[in-house]
Amino acid sequence: MQPKNPSDSRTVMTDLVLPSETNPLNNLFGGELLARMDRAASIAARRHSRRITVTASVNHVAFNHPVPLGSVVTVEAAVSRAFNTSMEIYIDVWMEDRQNRKRSKANEAIYTFVAVDDSGIPTKVPALIPETDLEKERFEGALRRKQLSLILAKRMKPSDATELKALFMGKSPN
């Protein structure tokens, strides 16, 4: 399988925040943003693997800034690391200033998708080669995040998480 770059999967979705998508403070409802991010991440995972892909886990979401009614919101997703059948997708959410169109970062999230065949069985995905400094940084941290996600899902014993141990104990993984 031919390796891919993050730019091969980059997916950009821009949309407005409408009244039906807001909470009582007139800011974007968290669940609506999660759905928008899930859609963009799903397309990115599909572009990388060219397979059916399913959300395996939402590893991290930070709702750092409220997104007001009427905002123009851009969700940008790209594969940050490919493993065997799973892919980490990094999502950046931007808001656009009405006057000068300058973008500011509103939120970010990290999702894990798995490529499956027509019967839903996990299937191998191409490797990912990061290019920019940011892509390399995200690639480097992805194995730690995968191990943490697997521990929380009770799919991995903490004693097997070599990358995490190295992070907390300052030792390089074997």
Ligand X SMILES: CC(C)(COP(=O)(O)OP(=O)(O)OC[C@H]1O[C@@H](n2cnc3c(N)ncnc32)[C@H](O)[C@@H]1OP(=O)(O)O)[C@@H](O)C(=O)NCCC(=O)NCCS
* Residue number with the smallest Cβ distance to ligand X: 83
Kindly state the tokens that stand for 80.
Answer: 């940050």
Q: How far apart are CA 112 and CA 100, in angstroms?
A: 35
> Per DSSP, what are the bridge partners of residue 70?
none
Whether the Cβ atoms of residue 90 and residue 78 lie closer than 8 Å to each other:
yes
Q: Where in 81-140 is the site for ligand X (CB under 6 A)?
A: 83-86, 112, 114, 116, 120, 122
How many CB atoms are closer than 10 A to CB 156?
Answer: 16
31 part of the interface to ligand X, by CB under 6 A: no
Which one of the spans 2-10, 14-22, 49-57, 101-109 is the region binding ligand X (CB under 6 A)? 49-57
Angle, helix 162-169 to helix 133-152, in steps of 10 degrees: 110
Question: Which residue, 67 or 82, is less far from ligand X as judged by CB?
Answer: 82
Provide, rounded to whole angstroms, the least separation between the CB of residue 167 and ligand X.
17
On whether the CB atoms of residues 86 and 156 are closer than 8 A, the answer is no
Residue 153 makes contact with ligand X by CB under 6 A? yes
Cα 3 to Cα 123: distance, rounded to the nearest angstrom: 15
- Of 17 and 45, which has the nearer Cβ to ligand X? 45
The strand ranges marked E within the chain are 11-16, 52-62, 72-82, 86-96, 103-116
| 93 or 115: CB nearest ligand X | 115
Nearer to ligand X, 12 or 116 (CB): 116
Nearer to ligand X, 27 or 86 (CB): 86
> Is 57 a binder of ligand X (CB under 6 A)?
yes
Give the interface with ligand X as residue ranges (CB under 6 A): 54-57, 83-86, 112, 114, 116, 120, 122, 146, 149-150, 153, 155
